[in-house]
């Protein structure tokens, strides 16, 4: 709980992940963001595999906490599946909105792109995550409260972070001499080539 908002623990990582997603798409474009999203996706898959391998290996004879270890790590695949699905769908929605709004607004109103993409991307991300992660352990009203609470928190965070995000993006555009507009980009999330 954060004040009266019911939030999943994964919310701790959100502030960095989505800000970097906005910055990456804004400066380098959707195609480069797509590569990073796929890298994150593969990393999460590897994490699941290695956690499961660790759970299935025989514990050391002096290790007294195997039952607790199994109890905690047995839930990891479902949580990570929820994270992977939410990240994959939500981040692509977020990047798509940033890229399309940037073209439509001719590069102006960056703050609107970031907030608008968070409104949409995080509605999708949070809903997908909560439904997959908690559908067997929470009733519908609790899941709805969690979805709405997390979504509100994420959107508010995006707004609060704008005074940091916008100067960082402007500085990065200047230093990198890059401000990509996705005019001829193929927005298919499964295409792994450059544009």
Q: Which residue has better confidence, 193 or 114? A: 114
Domain span at 130 = 9-176
Which phi and psi angles does 80 have, rounded to 5°?
-70, -35
Question: Would the pTM count as exceeding 0.85?
Answer: no
Average pLDDT over residues 4-24: 70
Q: Is residue 4 part of a domain?
A: no
In a domain, 188, yes or no: no
- In this prediction, residue 194 carries a pLDDT of 62
For residue 143, is it within any domain? yes
Closest to 142 in 3D by CA, of 134, 151, 132, 133: 134
Helices (H) and strands (E) in the chain, counts: 6, 0
- CA distances, 174 to each of 31, 54, 167, 171, 178 (Å): 20, 45, 11, 5, 7
Is the pLDDT at 40 greater than 60? The verdict is: yes
Q: What is the DSSP letter of 183?
A: S
pLDDT band, very low/low/confident/very high, at 79 (cuts 50, 70, 90): confident
Q: How many domains does the chain have?
A: 1
β-bridge mates for residue 5, sequence order: 2
- Whose structure tokens read 């480069």? 32
CA dihedral of residues 63, 64, 70, 72 (deg, nearest 10): -110
Tell me the pLDDT tens digit for each residue of 140-169. 999 999 899 889 988 988 899 899 889 999
Q: How confident is the model at residue 54 (pLDDT cuts 50, 70, 90)?
A: confident
């Amino acid at each position: 709980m954060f004040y009266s908002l019911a939030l999943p623990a994964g919310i701790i990582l959100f502030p960095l992940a989505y800000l970097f997603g906005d910055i990456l798409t804004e400066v380098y474009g959707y195609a480069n963001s797509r590569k990073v999203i796929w890298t994150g996706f593969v990393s999460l898959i590897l994490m699941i595999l290695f956690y499961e391998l660790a759970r299935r290996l025989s514990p050391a004879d002096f290790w007294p906490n195997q039952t607790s270890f199994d109890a905690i790590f047995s839930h990891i695949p479902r949580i990570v599946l929820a994270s992977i699905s939410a990240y994959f769908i939500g981040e692509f929605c977020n990047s798509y909105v940033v890229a399309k709004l940037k073209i439509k607004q001719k590069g102006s109103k960056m703050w609107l792109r970031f907030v608008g993409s968070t409104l949409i991307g995080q509605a999708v991300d949070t809903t997908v995550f909560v439904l997959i992660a908690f559908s067997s352990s929470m009733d519908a009203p609790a899941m709805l409260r969690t979805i709405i609470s997390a979504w509100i928190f994420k959107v508010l965070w995006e707004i609060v972070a704008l005074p940091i995000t916008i100067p960082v993006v402007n500085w990065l555009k200047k230093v990198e001499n890059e401000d990509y507009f996705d005019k001829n980009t193929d927005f298919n999330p499964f295409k792994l080539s450059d544009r």
